[in-house]
Structure 1
Amino acid sequence: MRTTALLLLALAAVTSAVTYHGYKVVSVTPRTTAEAQVLQKAVQLLQLQQWTHPHRLGVPVDVLVPPSLVYVFLSGLQAKHIPVQVKITDVQALIEEQVATRTPSTSLPRAFDHTQYHTLDEIYSILDGVEADYNSLVSSYTAATTYEGRPIRVLKVSSEESDTKPVIWIDCGIHAREWISSAVCQYILDQLTSGYGSNSDVTALLDTYDFHIMPVTNPDGYEFTWSDDRLWRKNRFPSGGALNCHGIDPNRNFDSDFGGPGTSDQPCSDIYHGTAAFSEKESQAVRDSVQALGSRVKIFFTLHAYSQLWMTPYGYTYDLPDNYDEQYRVSKVGVDALIAVHGTEFIYGNIADVIYMAAGGSTDWAYDAAGIQYAFALELRDQGSYGFLLPPEQIVPTGEETLAGIVAAINAV
């Protein structure tokens, strides 16, 4: 009886907030520049939200379409003979289905559970439990406190007390709605902690490197995706504007061509860059933590979703970094190892060419300002069948392939 009541409360929390009943995710594949322009004009005119962006012809672009605009959007594209496909027929139904599969609990978990997505309180409770269970291996620190007062936590996994080994940095969940990102960070933490001493590969890895892992870089936004809007992207800082908007995109807030291409100065935009570089606690948390580690940081990974991409600098320019050939070589090794696990196809290359131009990102900052010679941004599963709503049964396979790719890249360096 109690389990049923908890499940109903969870469903009520979702349905009482922003809802997406009848919303569809439509995949459009422009084949010519003219078709791409038609799509862009339609998106702008109808004020639609793009889940992915056109980066080259022949690649599908996913667009979220409300029920009132489905007919006009689809009929307009079909009249121009532009290929379209409905990938998700009812976004809210998919959201509610995922909530319904959660196993309610009367207490916060203290151990990893990769069968479902977790609330922020659950994640932090799990991190507490891991730190207690593996106290000789794991310690934690607070990188910053958010606008709404939540800690941005980092777990350090190290086989030694001394801070002398090179460091692998991994952050997840800088965009709130990308739940699979934070789930994969938890999976990686689980494999590192449970595998040390029992798995020779993990043991060798931790005897060589320390790991600093930030599982939820944007806790205010992540909490908001559970309480109010499952598809929220930004943080929750009151950004103002005529509509009293909230939120700044933390991954447009770094000092890497701040305010450049792929950003917006409109507070209501999903890619609003904020008033100044590092104005936000989330970008400050990454910056301050990485800078405190100094030259020990050898590889920087930031995990996003979705599109199945492994990317290197730069995002703010089509120019390539001086060591691009080396970063490209390591990317290939990582992607080959990732694909070998489950056959999940990934594309690799520099951000601007592989996905789109985007200034103010953490990967470019890590390479340019922090001097980290290997800086990678990964877009995890999938390619739009579920998009930001990847089912929980894909957490483990996504974690397996991502970790395999990361370990191979580390070894290649």
Structure 2
Amino acid sequence: MTMAPGSSFLSPYLVLFLLLRTTLFGLLTPGVYGEKVNYSGYRIISVVTQDQSQSDWLDQIVDNMGLQLLSDVNLRGLPVDILVPPQKYSLFTGQVHGQGLQFEVGIEDVQMQLDNESSNLRPPIRSGEFDHGTYHDLESIIGIINSVENDFPERVSTSVIGTTYEKRPIIIVKVTSGSDFNNTRREKDRKKNKDIIFFDCGIHPRE
């Protein structure tokens, strides 16, 4: 059963997450920064299961059709968000309808959403101009990291320790007090007792 217009299962945070991971990085094949996939006609379908048998059925049909789950299928009573290509839309929704499951289309055209979001992307020039309320591509993020290092050389240093599977650089950013940064001897003397805070800033594997 399709839900009435205006009722929405789709979390806005999920939409933003999808936009972020596909606009900036796409579903990637190996390359310098990967290759983006075009999502024209792709829809996000939200399906609600009420018991374990329905959850098992949905998990199986998604796997058989090669669809992409965007949320946990085992959370019964909550929406399961699924990315559906145009050529599989009728078959999938027909199967879901035949099982009597509630569903709705959360996004009619994923690529249109991505294009609208991409129009707001703007690479920063200086660290002070970086807009934290806007999505940025990888080159822009690396650029702002380098800009911060250039603006605060006594406090910030960076290094590349390797690359990801998609050949993206893995960057370490070290932020320290200016006095410790410039005083190598004191740094060595205090090294054993100095507190260190480590942030592992990873990304979703689909990025």
TM superposition score normalised by structure 1 = 0.36
1:23 is aligned, of 42, 50, 54, to 42
- Say if 1:129 and 1:92 are closer, same or farther in 2 by CA, change over 3 A: same
In the alignment, which residue of structure 1 is the partner of 2:195? 166
Partners in 2 of 1:75 and 1:147 — Cα distance? 38
Partners in 1 of 2:47 and 2:166 — Cα distance? 38
In the alignment, which residue of structure 2 is the partner of 1:151? 169
- Say if 1:60 and 1:118 are closer, same or farther in 2 by CA, change over 3 A: same
Corresponding residue SS for 2:200:
strand
Higher helix share: 1
Corresponding residue SS for 1:101:
coil
Partners in 2 of 1:41 and 1:74 — Cα distance? 14
In the alignment, which residue of structure 2 is the partner of 1:129? 147
**Alignment deviations for residues 36-82 of structure 1 (CA, whole Å, 9 cap, x no partner):** 12211211221111112223322221111111221221222122221
2:204 paired with 1:175: yes
Partners in 2 of 1:44 and 1:147 — Cα distance? 25
In the alignment, which residue of structure 1 is the partner of 2:120? 101
Query: Once the 2 structures are TM-superposed, how far is the Cα of residue 31 of structure 1 from its aligned partner?
Result: 0.8
Partners in 1 of 2:167 and 2:100 — Cα distance? 51
- Say if 1:148 and 1:19 are closer, same or farther in 2 by CA, change over 3 A: closer
| Letter of the structure 2 residue corresponding to residue 58 of structure 1 | G
| Letter of the structure 1 residue corresponding to residue 58 of structure 2 | L
Conserved? CA contact 1:110–1:127, under 8 Å: no
| Letter of the structure 2 residue corresponding to residue 76 of structure 1 | Q
Query: Once the 2 structures are TM-superposed, how far is the Cα of residue 17 of structure 1 from its aligned partner?
Result: 5.2
2:126 is aligned, of 107, 110, 113, to 110
In the alignment, which residue of structure 2 is the partner of 1:119? 137
Partners in 2 of 1:155 and 1:17 — Cα distance? 27
**Alignment deviations for residues 206-240 of structure 1 (CA, whole Å, 9 cap, x no partner):** xxxxxxxxxxxxxxxxxxxxxxxxxxx16xxxxxx
In the alignment, which residue of structure 2 is the partner of 1:371? none
Query: Once the 2 structures are TM-superposed, how far is the Cα of residue 146 of structure 1 from its aligned partner?
Result: 4.3
Unmatched 5+ stretches in structure 2: 1-22, 27-34, 182-186
**Structure whose alpha-carbon radius of gyration is higher:** 2
Q: Which of structures 1 and 2 has the larger relative contact order (alpha carbons within 8 angstroms, sep 6+)? A: 2
Conserved? CA contact 2:59–2:73, under 8 Å: no
Partners in 2 of 1:148 and 1:35 — Cα distance? 37
Conserved? CA contact 1:22–1:90, under 8 Å: yes
| Letter of the structure 2 residue corresponding to residue 72 of structure 1 | L
| Letter of the structure 1 residue corresponding to residue 50 of structure 2 | R
Query: Once the 2 structures are TM-superposed, how far is the Cα of residue 156 of structure 1 from its aligned partner?
Result: 1.5
2:98 is aligned, of 79, 102, 105, to 79
Conserved? CA contact 1:140–1:153, under 8 Å: yes
1:89 is aligned, of 81, 84, 108, to 108
Poorly superposed stretches of 4+, deviation over 4 Å: 146-150
| Letter of the structure 1 residue corresponding to residue 99 of structure 2 | K
Partners in 1 of 2:71 and 2:86 — Cα distance? 19
- How well do the aligned residues superpose, as a CA RMSD in angstroms? 2.6
Unmatched 5+ stretches in structure 1: 1-10, 177-232, 235-413
Conserved? CA contact 2:47–2:101, under 8 Å: yes
Query: Once the 2 structures are TM-superposed, how far is the Cα of residue 148 of structure 1 from its aligned partner?
Result: 6.2
TM superposition score normalised by structure 2 = 0.67
- Say if 1:51 and 1:109 are closer, same or farther in 2 by CA, change over 3 A: same
Conserved? CA contact 1:110–1:128, under 8 Å: no
Conserved? CA contact 2:71–2:82, under 8 Å: yes
Query: Once the 2 structures are TM-superposed, how far is the Cα of residue 100 of structure 1 from its aligned partner?
Result: 1.6
